[in-house]
Structure 1
Amino acid sequence: MDLDTVRTFVAAADTGQFQEAAAELAVTQQAVSKRIAVLERALGVRLFTRTARGARLTVDGQAFLPHARELLRVAERAVASVRTGRRALRVDVITSRGAASGLMRAFHRAHPAIDLDVVMLHDIGTALDAIRSGTIDASFRAVAMPGRPLPEDIESVRVLDEPLQLLTGPAHALAGARSVTVAQLAGHRIWMPGVVPGTEWTAYYDDLVARFGVTIEATGPNFGSDALLDTIAGSPELATFMGEHTLPRLPPAGAPDVRPAGHGLRRIPVTGPAPVYPHSLVWHRDNPHPALAALRAHLAATTAGHDAPGTWTPDWVIPR
């Protein structure tokens, strides 16, 4: 159904005059008559009867009028949902407990008037497709993994280097350490069931293993972070890596955990060098959403520098 004919019908019904409807719509009276005729043919009914005083709705016209008004309201809401500056800024944070989610919470606190729509996309390919199609406005990723450079129409900026920490239970041999070097992790079992082929974090940990000789086990199903913490807490052999800014929040490094009774988890800084996970914001270069510019400015002003002395990232990570 042509919305112009519906809009013309509503204008004629409200004014009671085709001439006045024409003036309101900035068209000729003949155009109004033609549009009404087209709509009547599409519906198979008469909507108006002509009188000496103008145009009067028929019974069918009266029945159709509230639905016509609703059609126009729905159309306006549909346009508003995608109109730049009026729809929510859609950002992919990968997971609700990661550092990117924390960055977006801080942005929301600083800019509460900006509408946000936060989504979680697992795969970088899916995220890039969503950015290019306009489904989302931006995503937080580690770029650019080997063999998968960013498309030419995608921009990125490094926003956060997140130090890795070792997470152990109270019975682990390293539980009492205030810090550990990467070399000290050789021979220890680092269990990370969420490391799956094809993801940027798998590319990151593959390089970590190749560079420092640590052992990462990705065996078993991934039942989520809570199940991972439960297993680590009760194991004298297994440890895992967790980003410093990754939830759930744990106590300061070296202090006992006060989460569920008996967990006693330890969070231990890794040094010599300190592996950091590089988070970048990626977006389409032609995206005009004003809130995207606000997000980029916020991240530039509130996040620290990158490639600090004594840290390590893979060679493929974009440096800026």
Structure 2
Amino acid sequence: MDLEAVRTFVAVADAGQFQEAAADLSITQQAVSKRIAALEKDLDVRLFTRTARGARLTIDGQAFLPHARELLRVAARADASVRPGRRALRVDVVNRRIVTAGLLQDFYRMHPGIELDVVTLDADVDGAVAAVEAGTIDATFHAVPPQQHLPDAISTARVIDEPHEALVGPRHPLANARAITPGQLAGHRVWMPGLDARGEVAVYYDELATAFGITIDVVGPVFGNEALLAEIADSSDLATLVGEGSRYLWPDSYDLRRIPIRDPAPVYPMSLIWRDDNPHPALAALRDFLGSGRRDSPDTDVWTPTWERAAPR
């Protein structure tokens, strides 16, 4: 399919007139007409109906328009894939509510001239590494166990040790505690519906639950964070675990409490993952930023998963 014809079709659809589209594309109106005619012949449909006010999309034209836009986006991404200095740095933050998104926002505040494409991949560390290797993304944040297979081109650097907090409602037995130990969560229902059962996340929480006798309930449909917070606010026995740097908002009437977990403080270790041969200049700036402001473990006794304790320092 002729991409210039597709680009012309989108320009006419947006402008509503062949003449205005021609001006936008810096070509003649005759050239616009020829491109549209060729595209209609290729597709074997009519895309526009001419009216006194200009050009109106037919039903087929309306159906084709979103796909035409996607074709142009794909073409732009294909072009940008070999021009890393001219495109946005694409970074997977895993979840927009957790510490990684906050760190990337801090990076952008320091470097507002850098264009960022912030994404959230539905992938464990294996899928994220594969996406980095394939060039789908420039970097991602994940825990990287030492036994994790990494292709030769992939590098990692540990950049975050994030402590946990318990999130409870005002009627929960732990609601007024200034801090708790992991063992104090034993016997309480820690509800984390939709917790990823794959990869390093599942391994981490399985070890955490076993180490401190905590019951983590993952059963139940996932209605979203807002529904989860509402349930916890209204409950006298539900709690959940959140990262210290995660960002959640709720109405004042919920009176939810974020309680630090200490002695030991469970921390989730996260690394930045990237390709060594990625020449994007913003990637080097991001690595420098994360290295200079690394969030280390709190100055207290900490707990990490066994695969992290076994990792060389």
TM-score for both structures, normalised by structure 1: 0.70
Answer yes or no: is the 8 Å Cα contact 1:137–1:284 preserved in 2: yes
Structure 1 pair 247–319 and aligned structure 2 pair: CA distance change class (3 A): farther
Answer yes or no: is the 8 Å Cα contact 2:194–2:219 preserved in 1: no
Q: Which structure has the larger Rg?
A: 1
Answer yes or no: is the 8 Å Cα contact 1:159–1:281 preserved in 2: yes
Aligned to 1:109: 109
Aligned residues: 247
Aligned to 2:138: 137
CA distance, structure 1, for counterparts of residue 159 and residue 165 of structure 2:
19
Answer yes or no: is the 8 Å Cα contact 1:158–1:280 preserved in 2: yes
Aligned to 1:18: none
Aligned to 2:307: 316
CA distance, structure 2, for counterparts of residue 203 and residue 114 of structure 1:
36
Structure 1 pair 85–192 and aligned structure 2 pair: CA distance change class (3 A): same
Aligned to 1:242: 242
Aligned to 2:224: 224
Instruction: Using the aligned pairs only, state the percent identity.
Output: 52
Structure 1 pair 239–84 and aligned structure 2 pair: CA distance change class (3 A): same
- The structural deviation recorded for 1:200 is 2.4
Answer yes or no: is the 8 Å Cα contact 1:143–1:150 preserved in 2: no
Q: Structure 2: 5+ residue runs without aligned partners?
A: 3-29, 36-71
- The structural deviation recorded for 1:148 is 3.9
- The structural deviation recorded for 1:227 is 1.1
Equivalent of residue 289 in structure 1, options 280, 289, 299: 280
Structure 1 pair 78–215 and aligned structure 2 pair: CA distance change class (3 A): closer
Counterpart check, 1:298 vs 2:289: yes
Equivalent of residue 278 in structure 1, options 269, 272, 288: 269
SS in 2 for 1:171: coil
Matches within 5 A, 1:15-34: none
CA distance, structure 2, for counterparts of residue 77 and residue 169 of structure 1:
46
Answer yes or no: is the 8 Å Cα contact 1:143–1:316 preserved in 2: no
CA distance, structure 2, for counterparts of residue 313 and residue 149 of structure 1:
20
Q: Structure 1: 5+ residue runs without aligned partners?
A: 3-61, 68-73, 250-258
Aligned to 1:263: 254
- The structural deviation recorded for 1:226 is 1.0
- The structural deviation recorded for 1:119 is 0.7
Answer yes or no: is the 8 Å Cα contact 1:140–1:279 preserved in 2: yes
Structure 1 pair 187–88 and aligned structure 2 pair: CA distance change class (3 A): same
Counterpart check, 1:191 vs 2:191: yes
RMSD: 2.8
